[in-house]
Structure 1
Amino acid sequence: MEDLKSAMDDQMNQMADLVERFTAELRSGLRPAYDNFIGFFHAIDWKEPWLICLMLFHIVLLVVTFISRKNVNFQMCLFLLALSGVYLAETVNRLLGDNWKSFAGQNYFDPHGVFLSVLWSGPLLIVAIIILVNILFSLCQLMVRWKRAELRHRARLSRDKEE
């Protein structure tokens, strides 16, 4: 019984320590995250042509996503392509890291892939989420149309029986 009480006390102390650290981080606010973001933003040379092309690619992809919102088949292809791009991000990061001198002014491609995750995978995931929400919305509309057609069909059958 004494071992159980000791284990419970240890667990409570760990939980109290976790809560204390969490509240200390909340008290510090979002300032450290903001400072990290600003540092990341200023470390990038945004005038490099390949970065401009990358941003234009993401903008065009987003516009195509919104324009094709009624075409579910095309959107599913876009969805799979976006997720494939995210899946291949590690390989792309390695390839670009090996050849960065031929197109970039500095090596942005660290072994952890933070840069590519933020500027390649992040926008692709946002596009994939937009497509997913659109497809779910389309499916809900299809279910409503199907149910209405079913109710009209039942009403027609019951009307035919009465006659």
Structure 2
Amino acid sequence: MERPIRVDEIQGLWTYLTSIDWTDPWFRYLLLFHVICCLTTILIRKKSNIQFIYFGFLIMMVFLSEYINEWAARNYKSFSRQQYFDSNGLFISTVFSTPVLINCLIMVIMWLLNMSKLMSEVRYVKHRSKRKNDSEPIQTSENSTDKVGKKEKGD
């Protein structure tokens, strides 16, 4: 078994990621969690209310990652062959929080695109309504003169 890499030995993200023993069984469950999160993000893309709740859940998971890291550091022997959970939180931030935040970023991008589309539709409807309102006074004034003309003829 390899010696775990110390935080002060890290030269870059790629070096750090390659130092992790990805064959540890619990990584499959972590990967499954991230796949489920990604699929959920995609499946609920048109359900705004559910997205807000899901977004809150994901942000709460990131917020709680410090506590998850502390718990995992104390209990790593029950699910892992190595102690990955450092006090700086680099490991949990890299393999847990970053993918979760990417899902949140995807949702924010979807919201912005949806908002942009809605603003474009509102602008189109306003423009159409303004054109319709601009053309109505002409018709109204013609109709009012016709009525006045008919009254005058009848008198």
Instruction: State the TM-score bracket (shorter-chain normalisation).
Output: 0.7 to 0.9
Supply the AA of the counterpart residue of 1:107. Q
> How far is the alpha carbon of 1:155 from its aligned partner?
2.0
Query: Residue 88 of structure 2 aligns with which residue?
Result: 112
Do residues 37 (structure 1) and 26 (structure 2) align?
A: no
Q: CA-to-partner distance for each residue in 1:57-78, whole Å, 9 max, x for gaps? A: 1112112212322222222222
Larger Rg computed on CA atoms: 2
Do residues 48 (structure 1) and 24 (structure 2) align?
A: yes
Write the distance in 2 (CA, Å) between the matches of 1:74 and 1:47.
35
Structure 1: stretches of 5+ with no match in the other structure: 1-31
Query: Residue 99 of structure 2 aligns with which residue?
Result: 123
> How far is the alpha carbon of 1:41 from its aligned partner?
2.7
TM-score, structure 1 normalization: 0.72
TM-score, structure 2 normalization: 0.75
Q: CA RMSD in A?
A: 1.6
Query: Residue 128 of structure 2 aligns with which residue?
Result: 152
Q: CA-to-partner distance for each residue in 1:8-62, whole Å, 9 max, x for gaps? A: xxxxxxxxxxxxxxxxxxxxxxxx43xx623x23432222232111111111211
Query: Residue 79 of structure 2 aligns with which residue?
Result: 103
Give secondary structure in 1 for the equivalent of 2:88. Answer: coil
> How far is the alpha carbon of 1:87 from its aligned partner?
0.9
Relative contact order (alpha carbons < 8 A, sep ≥ 6): 1 or 2 greater? 2
| Count of equivalent residues | 129
Question: 4+ residue stretches of structure 1 with deviation over 4 A?
Answer: none
Structure 2: stretches of 5+ with no match in the other structure: 1-10, 140-155
Identity fraction in percent = 30
Write the distance in 1 (CA, Å) between the matches of 2:53 and 2:113.
17
2:45 to 62, 69, 73: 69
